[in-house]
A and B are shown apart, each in its own frame.
Chain A
Amino acid sequence: MTNAATLPAGRARPTPASAAAPAGRILSWLRRRIFASWRDAVLSLSVVAVLGAIAWAIVPWALLDASWSGASRADCTGTGACWAFVAAKAPQFVYGFYPPAERWRPDIALALLVFGLAWLMVPRLPGKRYAGLFMMIVLPLATVLLLHGGFGGLAVVPSDQWGGLLLTMILAVSGITFSLPFGVLFALGRRSRMPLIRWFCIGFIEFCRGVPFLTVLFMAIVMLPFFLPSGMKPNPLALAVAGIIFYEAAYMAEVVRGGLQALPKGQYEAAMAIGFGYWRTMLHIILPQAVRKVVPGVVNTTISLLKNTTLVMVVGLFDLLNIVSAGVSDPLWAGSQAEGYFIVGLVFWLMSFGLSCYSRAIEAGFARAERS
């Protein structure tokens, strides 16, 4: 439909610059995008100056003057970062206290995760519905069984030994996978015609939005034992996973509600007029559109979920941040805070940035499909 002839004149594509020589092309790009006016030029140059200053501060420390190997902090003689610390602690940062001989088990779990993600995200692969089921049912069950063991000759590794990046991934992946579906249910419940369901959902959502996650976790670990039969102790990991899923689901619910409200009444009526009942209308007509409208909000909540996983230290879990904190206090490596937290920051930034990129790809895909 959209070919050059039908485009309004104002939106016609600029003539391809391929005719000009490369150097001329760069110059013309600079003139158009950087130095179009003196105000643009000042702004652009200030940005360049700030970026330059940041790089000037970090690059020598992180790369040029860094020490890369050694058995203790004393071996780090350079004036820059002591990456020997990270190298020595890397296995612990990744697996926590998971027994070294059994670390192939988390590796397999990670491979399953990568497989599921690829299946879900690569557009050409078929059976997306089954990929969803795989992520929501097969992957969690397989991961728990594999990591815990206790069958078929696999030694039991209790969950208090799982830690580091492994634990962070468990919390993040289960939170991301389940908070949206539960959030959708809470959002629908909030608009339900049945008052009890509506009140319950409103109460739950407002409770979670009103209380810091740290408080929720803390209350759960302190108060839950009072309600359980004596001698039964709640598993901190299970508690943390459930806490993250439901806490973030409350936020997802509000994001999704925004999308639901943005849909015209005609969509409900058209679905009903065909003969769709409530659930089919929601599943096939309303939710696909509502969720598409709120992808940025969903990703925003997901990123905050990711960072909230670091709070599980209050229930005694050693996620990536907590285990790095523990490593930093090792007397052999005293004074390695900067390196440790730099790495934690980098890992979280990479994960969040990956989510952002994925979200933009999704939005672009929707825009292409609807060309609205």
Chain B
Amino acid sequence: MENPLIQLANVNKWYNQFHVLRDIDLEVRRGERIVVCGPSGSGKSTMIRCINGLEAYEQGTITVAGERVDQDDDNIEKIRQRVGMVFQSFNLFPHLSILDNLTLGPIKLKRVPRAAAEARAMELLERVHIGHQALKFPNQLSGGQQQRVAIARALAMEPDVMLFDEPTSALDPEMVKEVLDVMIELAGTGMTMICVTHEMGFARAVADRVVFMADGAIAEVGTPDSFFSAPRTERARQFIQQVIH
């Protein structure tokens, strides 16, 4: 079998005394779509932020495409270029136009000529359905539009995998669908995705596996159907009850 694109082996992390990640083992194959869910504070954000080194971990190993994720600057910067990330709060660069938000990384980090970077950026903006907004600034867009730009910005670096940390939970309800639709389209292109989200519809539509976390540990892994209709643990059952309402 092909080596996993992402591998977390026996990962442990503490915030001072607080054991935030406990013996995390997870392998993600290229092209696989993982949905991570679990109660608030269970360590979901911490886990995916360890994958691109935004958080350090104390024990175990994380590898991305065989490269070990550690705090060595050169190494982690290379890895981050291959791992796209979308945040709950969009985090677009407000002083740059939408187009420049997308082209800055490719131009400065990959030495892509400006014209080529802009052509590619326009393609991506079309893909997330905001091509006509390219010259506006982030503050002029709605939340849903900003989040779609953020997805396009991450894609502009041509990553091997995309991490999503609750991409729709800061959005007004009427904007959630436009972002999820873009993510579903992205899944259709074969992109490897790890999504922290509580959107069950999205999980059922695209996830190969659902990872359920509780108290810093992975409590349960299963296909969306088996997880949502027949959870094995009591914690998962309670959680699903809450999410449905």
Contact = CB atoms under 8 A, between A and B. Distances in A.
B87 A266 contact: yes
A267 B95 CA distance: 11
A292 interface: yes
5 contacts: A269-B91, A270-B93, A276-B109, A370-B95, A372-B94
A275 interface: yes
Given A371-B137, A372-B94, A274 B54 contact: no
B93 A285 contact: yes
Contact of B108 (A264, A284, A370): A284
A274 B137 contact: no
Interface of B: 52, 54, 73, 77-78, 80-81, 83-85, 87, 89, 91-95, 104-105, 108-109, 136-137, 139-140, 150, 153-154, 157
A89 to B, nearest CB: 48
Nearest to B133: A1
B95 to A, nearest CB: 5
Interface string A289-318: 100100000000000000000000000000
Interface residues of A, number: 24
Nearest to B52: A273
Contacts of A269: 54, 87, 91
Contact of B80 (A264, A274, A289, A371): A274
A273 B52 CA distance: 7
Contact of A371 (B87, B91, B140, B154): B140
A152 B121 CA distance: 53
Given A275-B77, A276-B109, A289-B93, 13 more contacts: A1-B136, A266-B91, A267-B91, A269-B91, A270-B91, A273-B83, A273-B85, A274-B109, A275-B157, A276-B77, A277-B73, A280-B108, A371-B137
Contacts of A369: 95, 137
Contact of B105 (A267, A274, A289, A292): A274
Q: By CB atoms of chain B within 10 A, which of A269, A270, A274, A292 has the most?
A: A274
Contacts of A371: 137, 139-140
B194 to A, nearest CB: 13
B163 to A, nearest CB: 8
A275 B109 contact: yes
B137 A270 contact: no
A369 B93 CA distance: 13
B54 A275 contact: no
A271 B105 CA distance: 9
Interface in A103-125: none
Given A1-B140, A266-B89, A370 B109 contact: no
A262 interface: no
Nearest to A271: B93
Given A273-B85, A274-B80, A275-B81, A288 B95 contact: yes
Contacts of B78: 275
Given A1-B140, A292-B95, A372-B139, A270 B87 contact: yes
B116 to A, nearest CB: 18
A269 B92 CA distance: 11
Contacts of B105: 274-276
Contacts of B92: 270
A347 interface: no
B109 A267 contact: no
A274 B104 CA distance: 10
Contacts of B84: 273
A274 to B, nearest CB: 4
A292 B96 CA distance: 12
A272 interface: yes
A288 B93 CA distance: 10
Interface string A240-280: 00000000000000000000000010110111111111101
A370 B153 CA distance: 19
B90 to A, nearest CB: 8
A289 B91 CA distance: 13
A274 B89 contact: no
A370 B98 CA distance: 11
Contact of B93 (A1, A267, A277): A267
Contacts of B94: 289, 370, 372
A289 B101 CA distance: 14
Contact of A370 (B85, B89, B137, B150): B137
Contacts of B83: 273
A66 B98 CA distance: 60
Contacts of B73: 277-278
Nearest to B108: A280
A273 B54 contact: yes
A271 B81 CA distance: 11
B54 A272 contact: yes
Contacts of B139: 370-372
Nearest to B106: A274
Contacts of B104: 274, 284
Nearest to B110: A275
B190 to A, nearest CB: 22
B67 to A, nearest CB: 13
Nearest to B81: A275
The 4 closest A-B pairs by CB, nearest first: A270-B91, A275-B81, A266-B91, A273-B85
Nearest to A267: B91
A159 B245 CA distance: 80
A264 B137 CA distance: 18
Contacts of A271: 93
